[in-house]
Structure 1
């Protein structure tokens, strides 16, 4: 099968399309014929080996696993022993291992039926960004009439967080580039702040919660814009150092008083995929797919993601 691999750490020049054997199936595993695969910042971190602390898990000198990709949508090709949730021929979406390929192996509990109103490309734009946004929104608690800011609102996770918050009663301030302002308004943002022109912590704004997926401002600056006892959720940042990366902001939070600061890491969840699917089918949520690249142009897709060229989500197709 054709698959995108990287056998050393680096920028997109290390990516290659190679021929690999199809994955073997163990207990509870499913082989999916990939129709589309999502592109996330997680793949950039795995590709570059940054922050370097992550290499303790993924390989110090070089990657232990050459493949990339987690988000997947496609058709079940084969099932392993003990699989009962899905059957050959089912159209599914969810999380897999090495989805930047023609075939990917997945745990059956991390796959759900593809929403019938979505294309494979639209469905592949959902899983990681969708369950990350959903889990982050839950941390806010009650949403009715709450003032919530979302940084990185024009990106993958942010674009789903804006929709979920707005649909569930919050008043959402989207922090993004001017080029993505209309995009986030269509998703349900009530106010938009262009981070290049305006400091979102200035102007007397006071929020019950801030979901910070961009990480462009120091943690201490957010304190003045959050109501006493409010929430600052640190959901990621590409602004951290090469050693600790986003975790460096967690160190800053030790010195912040008067607000709740939470370092947030999402986990893949089949139940959350099912909830997202129901929201997509009901119209509460829509896929924010904006661009499709062929598998052979995975490098271009990652570069576009890093440059924030497209709003919402990018996917690859074999």
Structure 2
């Protein structure tokens, strides 16, 4: 079977769940070939995890400056790997950086580009969220090699051990004048909660939370469920919660097993980032709130009355284990 290139999302020591999802999706199209971009030694640290999740080959694109620039080293690595393997497709995660990598790579290779892919079948036809989440369509690349940005949470990771072949890629020097340089890194405050795009449960708050202090109710329910905290754009713009937790078209796209929306009306901008969640629960005082029409379970009521009861119930159930 042909190779399918997968750009590995990692922190230098750990492969992120989104990469496991990409490897599972890649198996529907061919043999998953993981492309690791990082400083020397990164691929060796990640190889065992990648092999366990089905990578049949691992490309090591390593350079001392690989982590000093945004996007460009990844685009260079995928271009080199594509020239070596003639893959059936290239898969990246539809994160902010992943979308940029996908777009730039498609332009370099004169390839077809598919963004926000939530399903893939063996023929190469994909399910895609378009126009800000207004429509879900089926699409297929008709020119060149498909470059796909897959929505996090849309595919279930699977362990399928392999003995991957190791391949080396020599990254070219990056032109500092034509690339964004990383000048500093700071860890995002998140405590022990899972990353937003990797969580099985996401609890989000909106303008209805009323302020930054009101997000304590959101956090307590998320912690009781072992989930991540999200926020609507309205809540972020109002200063209730940091931007890195924003869910929506201009924030992060999520597709958890359970999404709970507290005090979120359901503007299309927000729905675009979470409507592929497996189960959606919404709590809102307005019976006409658009999100109630999308939700699998809707509660018309005060979130400050409903959410604490849910939190207490989950705590009681955990204590009774």
TM-score normalised according to structure 2 size:
0.30
TM-score normalised according to structure 1 size:
0.30
Question: Bigger relative contact order, structure 1 or 2, given CA contacts below 8 A and separation 6+?
Answer: 1
Tell which structure's C-alpha radius of gyration is larger: 2
